[in-house]
Amino acid sequence: MRVTVGHLYPDYLNIYADRGNMAVLSWRAARRGHELDVRAISLGDPLVPGEHDLLYVGGGQDREQALIAPDLAARSDEIHAALDGGAALLAVCGGYQLLGRFYRDRAGADLPGAGIFPLETVAGERRMIGDMLLECELEPGERHTLAGFENHAGRTLLDEGAEPLGRVVHGFGNDGRSGHEGCRLGRAVGTYLHGPLLPRNPWFADWILAQALAHRLGEPPELEPLPDELERRAHELAAARARQRGGRD
């Protein structure tokens, strides 16, 4: 099956090699006989709801975010329509912030958000940097850990009742206080985890891939397991660094 990915602003939002996430997804799809067709959507390019099985937005600092924020915010209806039609979405850090209602930068200026995730973000004084570890339960009864690297000044506040991606075991997460990291809305996930994220967390890469395939199949398919020995070692290394960092905050 061909899995079509709309990669938003790869020319602006690609800090910490977030593009590596796409490489991992392509490889894991190919091992299951699927082909990942990654199409760039940059400033002014059309985003036609239904055309993509997965939308992906990487991370970027305030400067890059300011360059793309109005264009992304103007796509709110199309992104809502794509998700309503069953597409999956993954957004990292700067992209995650701009899929909320707004991001208020260090100078107090508001960048408009696309209003997809029920949250808002305000930059603080101290940057939140380091390896982090989360505990997630995206499917009832299936607990996993996610390891990655965070580096953000933004404090993200989820609306009452919004579902985080996971619980912070080590690190800061959304705001350094709530114990929450990221946001999950059906098949859409936003997170502060770079890493890049997917190479170190093969279970999560497969979850995203299955959500993208569900856009075609109606249901997320069971993906046949891969050996993942190196991936598990990468996860363990990152998790060990996060543990050395100690408790939250």
- List residues with catalytic annotation: 93, 194
Q: How far is the CB of 42 from ligand GLN (least distance, A)?
A: 17
- For residue 215, count CB atoms less than 10 angstroms from its CB and return exposed for 0-12, middle for 13-18, buried for 19 or more: buried
SS3 content of the chain, % helix, strand, coil (to 5): 30, 35, 35
Cβ distance to ligand GLN smaller for residue 58 or 220: 58
d(CA 62, CA 12): 11
Q: How far is the CB of 181 from ligand GLN (least distance, A)?
A: 14
Please give the biggest Cα pair distance in the chain.
Answer: 49
Span of 31-39, 59-67, 75-83, 135-143 interacting with ligand GLN by CB under 6 A: 59-67
Cβ distance to ligand GLN smaller for residue 21 or 97: 97
Q: Which of 8, 15, 89, 169 binds ligand GLN (CB under 6 A)?
A: 15
Q: H or E stretch including 73? A: helix 62-73
Q: How far is the CB of 242 from ligand GLN (least distance, A)?
A: 17
Half-sphere exposure of 179 (CA within 13 A, CB side): 5
d(CA 190, CA 174): 10
Tell me if 154 contacts ligand GLN by CB under 6 A.
yes
Tell me if 193 contacts ligand GLN by CB under 6 A.
no
| Near ligand GLN in 109-138, by CB under 6 A | 123
Other Cβ atoms less than 10 A from the Cβ of 167: the count is: 16
Q: How many residues interact with ligand GLN (rule CB under 6 A)?
A: 14
Cβ distance to ligand GLN smaller for residue 63 or 229: 63
Q: How far is the CB of 192 from ligand GLN (least distance, A)?
A: 8
Angle (nearest 5°) at CA 145 between 30 and 36: 15
SS3 8: strand
Q: Which of 65, 145, 174, 191 binds ligand GLN (CB under 6 A)?
A: 65
Q: Do 91 and 99 contact (CB within 8 A), yes or no?
A: yes
Tell me if 196 contacts ligand GLN by CB under 6 A.
no
Span of 57-65, 129-137, 160-168, 214-222 interacting with ligand GLN by CB under 6 A: 57-65
Helices within 112-248 (DSSP H only): 197-200, 202-217, 229-245
| Near ligand GLN in 76-95, by CB under 6 A | 93-94
Q: Which of 59, 100, 164, 202 binds ligand GLN (CB under 6 A)?
A: 59
Cis ω before 196 (30° cut-off from 0): yes
Tell me if 62 contacts ligand GLN by CB under 6 A.
yes
Q: How far is the CB of 113 from ligand GLN (least distance, A)?
A: 12
Residues at the contact surface with ligand GLN, assessed by CB under 6 A: 15, 59-62, 65, 93-94, 97, 123, 151-154
